[in-house]
Chain A
Amino acid sequence: MEKKKTVNLSLKQYGMVFAMLIIFIIFYALTGGVNATPMNMNNLIMQNSYVIILATGMLLCVLTGNVDLGVGSYVALCGAVAAKLIVEQNMNIVLAFIITILVGVAFGAFNGFFIAYLGIPPFVVTLAGMLIGRGLTYTLLESKTVGPLPGAYVKVGAGFFLTNKIEFGSGTLDLITILVAVIATVLVLGAEYRTIKTQQKYGFAMVPTWQTAIKLVATLGILWFFFFKIAAYNGIPIILILMAVIVGVYHFITSKTVAGRQVYALGGNEKAARLSGIDTKKVYFWVYTNMGFLAAIAGIVLSARNASATPKAGDGFELDAIAACYIGGAAASGGVGTIVGAVIGAFVMGILNNGMFLIGLPTDLQKVVKGLVLLGAVTFDVLSSKKKN
């Protein structure tokens, strides 16, 4: 019989999921299960949504071999613009959001112009952006907090989707959340089925069945655990929907489109990319403009959750977003990394933050632990890929 071609799943891709689970389980033990309560699972999403939104944009910057140091400032500035317009100008919320997003895009395009068309190193341009953005925020807010924000605004950051709750055990269970989980399950299985069908149709190398099985069990296990918990709390947060859409769209762009491939090619070898007909300047410009766009969305979400805009908002977010990308397997030199990896990286950091907070570890030490985890994850990544070669 002809030997079937097989290919193993990359351990690198799934190693981080594994690490995330282990960290979660360790804190489960340390907190006596508090980190797995429905409320805390809900908090995990709400607290990390902005980092995840920023990490998707940051991943594109990291893929080009650079970072954007200014995102924390753009988040603060955009939150301030939205709050100012709505609270002090009484502007229509939708219109205010559109203007806010335009401000973020304009800031991103400003950076992109210097980086792409004047050839200024991104590190320098975005370091300047960080200072300019923060300074503008303080000026705009006159160093004061603007709030409280109206209910409709706050709902974006702290509200929930439609619910239909039933009695369940000692609490309630939201059926709509469960319905969404069912749909998600069907989608996951459907996608896997399609992949296998194409592999068979074209005679491509197949992943061994047991590996596929483990992958599916793990994916669906995490999915159901998570949805069950939030169903038992208050249903699906609006932020989760927003986040899922953003992650989905950017995953599609990076993995399936020409534009996404061009970013990878530029990060892998800029000169070769240029000689292959890729307008590398245009790629740089849009990657940084896009970062401004996503920072604006994160800014709206953050101010909504806090029900106010403060000049210090978003401080240090750029570092969390960058760390999420690196933990998620992106290479600092560019050309390697995935959106899903960055999201998992963000969750690793989030679960760690949340767990350390719950066990009451002092903030000073929390930073040390986060630093060590980042260093450890990247060291592991570098050493294991070295060994492979």
Chain B
Amino acid sequence: MSDYILEMNHIVKDFSGVKALNDVNLKVKRGEIHALCGENGAGKSTLMNVLSGIYPFGTYTGDIVYNGEVVKNRNIKDSEKKGIVIIHQELALSPYLSVAENVFLGNEQMTIKGVIDWTQTRNKAQEMLEKVGLGSENLDAPVNTLGVGKQQLIEIAKALAKKVDLLILDEPTAALNDEESAQLLEIMLKLKKQGITSIIISHKLNEISYVADAITVIRDGQTIETLTKGADDFSEDRIIKGMVGRELTNRYPERVDCPIGDVVLEVKDWNVYHPEDPHRQVLKNINIKVRAGEVVGLAGLMGAGRTEFAMSLFGQQYGQKISGEILMHGRQVKIKSVKDAIDHKIAYTSEDRKNYGLILFNDIKWNMSLAALRSYFSQNGVVDANKEVMEAEKYKELINIKSNSVHQAVGSLSGGNQQKVILAKWMLTEPDVLILDEPTRGIDVGAKYEIYCAINDLAKSGKAVIVISSEMPEILGTCDRTYVLNEGRIAGEIDRENLSQERIMKCIMQDNNRKGE
């Protein structure tokens, strides 16, 4: 048998004339962790969909050799039968079914055909969960009561239950915090010891350098290179060079001197309780200030309350029993709805752009005008359609949105361009304060750079910007000053000169200890 478990040779796949994959080659050694890197739209997910049979045999050219024989997968069932299991970025769990039921979703343990064998289901589920380090979880708990990190691990347990030989993980850590990500990577290494081969797609290059044995870089639908651990340089800069085709000397644009002005937004003694549980305090006495021309970071682990803080501020869209004061330009304001927030010149872009930011099947111009429809795009309640097109064209140029026209549905844009549409939408409300929640989540290096440039431009034009991010390098690279949140409290405030990843983690640790005392 060959040394390679999988060889994909000269794969070409086109979508109505556009070549998404143009001669891609991928060779995966048995028992290794192989990473697939490339910018968004480079063709990584398409390649994995070809492999798993989502794009069936015949819709692409080139051949797939798996365990020494050419395979012709017609659908996912075919590939799963051969031991190829793909875990997509969007979790495929049924939220109200129990943990055990989800582990065997689509692969039910049965006594006779069609009748579920509950003893077997529970016993085997327990076994699988132990393999992914979730041995102590309650098997009967609905899966939606668990955090995203644990749900991701349940996906892996589900794959293991299918007797997997080749496990494909598409952006497994995109929604996880550092701690959860680390746990997931350890599980991957553990599975490798048990002989399971994995392919991981990820934008988090530090994770890839840590976990992968080989890295294949894809750009514009073509294989650029394969790097092997030990033989090649595995540094992040080296991988980025392959991905973008040039050395990206600086991943964050220079913060040109923009004068920092007066305090624009000040929040005093902000307290918020959980929307479903009036006794659970989610945010405790938060005090922050943001000045004109300043980019302020909100750092913290997932669950620290950053998004909750932003949403509760933005017209009470999160929580109950909200108390505290909001001052805009030193004057106290009452903000009870999103409309109030917009009227008081506050903008918020959600971390979940597909569900909370965009109307995917509407076009660029409609998405852009939505928040400023009342204030800017209409007169006496009648929408000025010409103005919509003109402004959309203007912003398309201004922040470089790549699309055929402003009449294109935003759902067909890449993640980076979608994020730019959202940015334009809120710039059009002419805010004084912009709160950007995970503005670069899941988008590629090039588009990230452009978003950072846009943030700098906003600050330069005198706006106060708050950046919420789970990626510490991003906070380091973009912010003038950073608040660290931990368990709903401000655990520290660090200025640019003293800002480092270690310093942020130290704040969190100290805060945890303080609580312990």
Interface residues of A (CB under 8 A from B): 5, 7, 198, 202, 204-205, 256-262, 264-265, 268-269, 271-279, 335-336, 389
Collect the chain A residues with CB atoms within 8 Å of residue B425's CB: 276
B329 at the interface (CB under 8 A from A): no
Looking at B2-10, B55-63, B228-236, B334-342, the stretch in contact with chain A turns out to be: B334-342
A-B pair number, CB within 8 angstroms: 85
Query: Per-position contact with A for B241-257: 1 when CB-CB < 8 Å, else 0?
Result: 00000000000000000
A-B residue pairs, 3 tightest by C-beta: A268-B359, A276-B371, A277-B338
**With a CB–CB cut-off of 8 A, which chain A residues contact B106?**
none
| A202/B386 in contact, CB under 8 A | yes
Query: Which B residues are in CB contact (< 8 Å) with A274?
Result: 317, 338
Q: Which residue of A lies closest to B374 (CB)?
A: A258
Of B355, B370, B383, which one neighbours A276 at CB under 8 angstroms?
B370
From B339, B381, B405, give the contact of A205 (CB < 8 A).
Answer: B405
Whether A258 and B357, one on each chain, are in contact in the complex, defined by CB atoms closer than 8 angstroms, is no
B346-389: contact bitstring with A at CB < 8 Å (1 yes, 0 no)?
Answer: 00101000011111111000100011011000100111011001
**Contact A275 B338, CB 8 Å, known A256-B385, A258-B374, A335-B359:** yes
Q: Does B70 contact A (CB under 8 A)?
A: no
Distance, CA A258 to CA B337, complexed state (A): 18
| Known contacts A202-B390, A204-B389, A335-B359; A273 and B370 CB within 8 A of each other | yes
Confirm or deny: B407 has a beta carbon within 8 angstroms of a beta carbon on chain A: yes
List of A residues within 8 angstroms of B359 by Cβ: 265, 268-269, 272-273, 335
A171 vs chain B, min Cβ distance (A)? 44
Indicate if the CB atoms of B383 and A258 lie closer than 8 Å.
yes
Chain B's nearest CB lies how many Å from the CB of A60? Answer: 16
**A residues near B315, Cβ cutoff 8 Å:** 277
By beta carbon, the residue of chain A nearest B411 is A389
B338 close to A276 (CB less than 8 A): yes
Interface size class of B (residues with CB under 8 A): 35 or more
Q: What are 5 A-B contacts defined by CB distance under 8 Å? A: A259-B381, A264-B366, A277-B337, A335-B361, A335-B362
Question: A202 near B342 (CB under 8 angstroms)?
Answer: no
Docked pose: A264 CA to B366 CA in angstroms: 10
The CA of A372 and the CA of B348, in the complex, are separated in Å by 47
Also in contact, A272 and B339, with CB within 8 A (given A204-B389, A259-B381, A261-B383): no
Known: A268-B361, A335-B362. A275 touches B356 (CB 8 A): yes
Q: Do A256 and B383 form a contact, CB below 8 Å, given A269-B355, A275-B338, A275-B357?
A: yes
Residues of chain B having any CB pair with chain A under 8 Å: 314-315, 317, 337-339, 341-342, 348, 350, 355-362, 366, 370-371, 373-374, 378, 381-383, 385-386, 389-390, 405, 407, 412, 425
Question: Are the CB atoms of B338 and A7 closer together than 8 Å?
Answer: no
Q: How far is the CA of A269 from the CA of B362 in the complex (A)?
A: 10
Please tell me if the beta carbons of A272 and B358 are within 8 angstroms of each other in the complex: yes
- Give the CA-CA distance A260 to B383 in the complex, in Å: 9
* CA A271 to CA B381, docked complex, whole Å: 22
Contact A258 B338 (CB under 8 A): no
Q: How far, in Å, is B391 (CB) from chain A's closest CB? A: 11
**Interchain CB contact (< 8 A) of A272 among B357, B389, B405:** B357
Task: List the B side residues contacting A272 at CB < 8 Å.
Answer: 355-359, 370
Residues of A within 8 A of B341 (CB): 277
In the complex with contacts A198-B386, A259-B381, A265-B359, A275-B348 CB distance below 8 A: yes
* Cβ–Cβ < 8 Å partners of A269 in chain B: 355, 358-360
Question: How far, in Å, is B4 (CB) from chain A's closest CB?
Answer: 35
A257 pairs with B407, CB closer than 8 A? no
- A271 with B355: in contact, given A256-B383, A276-B370, A277-B374 (CB under 8 Å)? yes
Chain A residues near B381 (CB-CB < 8 A) = 257-259
Question: CB-CB < 8 A to B342: which residues of A?
Answer: 277
Q: Is the CB of B386 within 8 A of A257?
A: no
Q: Which of B356, B361, B370 contacts A271, CB < 8 Å?
A: B356
For residue A5, give the distance in angstroms from its CB to the closest CB of chain B: 8
Which B residues are CB-close (under 8 A) to A335?
A: 359, 361-362
- B378: chain A residues within 8 A (beta carbon): 257-258
| Contact partners of A262 in chain B: CB under 8 A | 373
A188 to chain B, nearest CB (A): 19
Partner of B370, one of A198, A259, A265, A389: A265
Known: A259-B381, A272-B355, A275-B348. A205 touches B317 (CB 8 A): no
Contacting residues, chain B, for A276 (C-beta < 8 A): 338, 370-371, 425
CB distance from B515 to the nearest CB of A (A): 32
Instruction: Output the nearest chain A residue to B355 by Cβ-Cβ distance.
Output: A271
| Chain A neighbourhood of B386, CB < 8 A | 198, 202, 204
> Which residues of A lie under 8 Å from residue B371 when comparing CB positions?
276-277
Q: Which residues of B contact A268 (CB under 8 A)?
A: 359-362
Cα A185 to Cα B245 with chains together (Å) = 60
- List the B side residues contacting A271 at CB < 8 Å: 355-356
**Smallest CB-CB separation from B359: which chain A residue?**
A268
Q: How far is the CA of A260 from the CA of B339 in the complex (A)?
A: 17
A275 pairs with B350, CB closer than 8 A = yes
Are A205 and B407 within 8 A (Cβ)? yes
Q: For residue B11, give the distance in angstroms from its CB to the closest CB of chain A.
A: 22
What residues of chain B lie closer than 8 Å to A265, measured between beta carbons? Answer: 359, 362, 366, 370
A60 to B383: give the CA distance in the assembly, Å: 18
Q: Which residues of B contact A198 (CB under 8 A)?
A: 386
Q: How far is the CB of A331 from chain B (nearest CB, A)?
A: 9
Bound-state Cα–Cα, A276 to B371, Å: 5
B337 touching A279, Cβ below 8 Å: yes
Contact across chains for B357 and A279 when beta carbons are under 8 A apart: no
Q: Distance (Å) between the CB of B248 and the closest chain A CB?
A: 32
Q: Which residues of B contact A258 (CB under 8 A)?
A: 373-374, 378, 381-383
Expressed in whole angstroms, the Cα–Cα distance for A261 and B338 within the complex equals 17
CA distance A389 to B337 in the complex (A): 36
CA of A61 to CA of B309 in the docked complex: distance in angstroms? Answer: 34
Interchain CB contact under 8 A, B383 and A257? yes
Query: Is A279's CB under 8 angstroms from B339's CB?
Result: yes
Nearest to A331 among chain B residues (CB) is: B361
How far is B366's CA from A268's CA once the two chains are assembled, in angstroms? 11
B382–A257 contact, CB under 8 A?
Answer: yes
User: B373 touches which one: A7, A261, A279 (CB < 8 A)?
Assistant: A261
B382 lies within 8 A of A7 (CB): no
Residue of A nearest to B379 (CB): A258
Nearest CB of chain A from residue B276's CB, rounded to whole Å: 14
